[in-house]
Amino acid sequence: MIRITTLFLLAVSCAVSAQDATEWLEANRVRCMINSSGGLFNDQDSWSPGFEVPAGEGVHTIYSANFWVGGLDEQGVLRLAAEKYGAEGTDWYPGPLTTDGTASTTAEVMDAYNRVWVANREGVNLHISYFNAAKNGTLEEEFPNGYATPDWMLDWPAHGDYTQGFPLYLAPFFDYNGDLGYTPLEGDYPLFCGDQCLYVIFNDRGGVHSESGGEPIGLEVHAMLYGFSDPSDAMLYNTVFLNYGVINRGIHTLSDTYLGFWNDFDIGSNVDDYVATNVHRSSVLAYNGDELDEPSFGSTGYGSDLPAQALQVLAGPFADADGLDNTLPDDVYSAETESYGPYALGYGDGLPDNERLGLSASRYYNNSMNPVTGEPTIPVHFYYYMQGLDLDGGAMFPDYSFYGSSDPLFITTGDPNQEPLSEESSGNPPGDRRILASSGPFTLSPGEMAEVDLAYVFARESDDPEEEVRATLESRLVESKLYFNEFLAECPENQIFIGVNEAEASNMDINLFPNPTADKLNVRMSVPRNQTDVVITDLTGKVVLATRLGFGYAHQIDVSQLPSGSYFASLRNGMNAQSHKLFIQR
Query: What backbone phi and psi angles, to 5 degrees, belong to 577?
Result: -150, 155
Confidence of residue 493 (pLDDT cuts 50, 70, 90): low
Count how many Cα atoms sit within 13 Å of the Cα of residue 371 in the half-sphere of its side chain.
Answer: 1
C-alpha distance from residue 416 to each of 407, 419, 481, 497 (Å): 10, 9, 26, 43
CB-count burial class (<10 Å; 0-12, 13-18, 19+) for 229:
middle
pLDDT of residue 309: 98
Asked whether residue 420 carries a pLDDT value surpassing 50, the answer given is yes
> Are the C-beta atoms of residues 69 and 81 closer than 8 Å to each other?
yes
Asked whether residue 255 carries a pLDDT value surpassing 80, the answer given is yes
Length of the chain: 586
Q: What is the pLDDT of residues 350-369, one digit of tens each?
A: 888 889 999 999 999 988 88
Asked whether residue 176 carries a pLDDT value surpassing 90, the answer given is no
pLDDT of residue 417: 86
C-alpha distance from residue 277 to each of 98, 374, 458 (Å): 39, 19, 15
The Cα 194–Cα 532 span in angstroms is: 38
Q: What percent of the chain has pLDDT above 90? A: 65
Q: Which helix (H) or strand (E) holds 189?
A: strand 189-190
Asked whether residue 546 carries a pLDDT value surpassing 90, the answer given is no
Average confidence (pLDDT) over 452-477: 96
Asked whether residue 549 carries a pLDDT value surpassing 80, the answer given is yes
Q: For residue 45, what are the contacts with CB-CB under 8 A and spacing of at least 6? A: 19, 22
Confidence of residue 491 (pLDDT cuts 50, 70, 90): low
SS3 breakdown of the chain: % helix, strand, coil, rounded to 5?
15, 35, 50
Q: Which long-range contacts (CB under 8 A, 24 or more apart) does 419-428 make?
A: 421/397, 422/274, 422/276, 423/274, 423/275, 423/276, 423/289, 424/274, 426/402, 428/274
The Cα 114–Cα 160 span in angstroms is: 14
Q: What is the pLDDT of residues 182-217, one digit of tens each?
A: 899 999 999 999 999 999 999 999 999 999 999 999
Sequence-ordered strand ranges (E) for 466-551:
510-513, 520-529, 532-538, 543-549
Sequence-ordered strand ranges (E) for 461-519:
510-513
Q: What is the pLDDT of residues 324-348, one digit of tens each?
A: 999 988 778 777 667 799 999 989 8
Confidence of residue 500 (pLDDT cuts 50, 70, 90): very low
Asked whether residue 135 carries a pLDDT value surpassing 70, the answer given is yes
Asked whether residue 266 carries a pLDDT value surpassing 60, the answer given is yes
Average confidence (pLDDT) over 494-509: 44
CB-count burial class (<10 Å; 0-12, 13-18, 19+) for 415:
exposed
The Cα 181–Cα 173 span in angstroms is: 9
pLDDT of residue 398: 80
Q: What percent of the chain has pLDDT above 70? A: 92
Asked whether residue 497 carries a pLDDT value surpassing 80, the answer given is no
> Are the C-beta atoms of residues 528 and 539 closer than 8 Å to each other?
no
The Cα 446–Cα 538 span in angstroms is: 12
Name residue 554's amino acid.
Answer: A
C-alpha distance from residue 142 to each of 120, 145, 148, 188 (Å): 21, 9, 14, 19
Name residue 33's amino acid.
Answer: M
Confidence of residue 576 (pLDDT cuts 50, 70, 90): low
* Mean pLDDT, all residues of the chain: 89
Asked whether residue 505 carries a pLDDT value surpassing 50, the answer given is no
**Out of 135-139, 411-415, 494-498, 535-539, least confident range:** 494-498
The Cα 254–Cα 444 span in angstroms is: 5
Confidence of residue 47 (pLDDT cuts 50, 70, 90): confident
Closest residue by Cα to residue 24 from 197, 186, 161: 197
C-alpha distance from residue 111 to each of 12, 15, 20, 35 (Å): 7, 7, 10, 13
C-alpha distance from residue 74 to each of 90, 253, 321, 464, 517 (Å): 25, 6, 18, 52, 31
Q: What is the CA radius of gyration of the chain?
A: 24
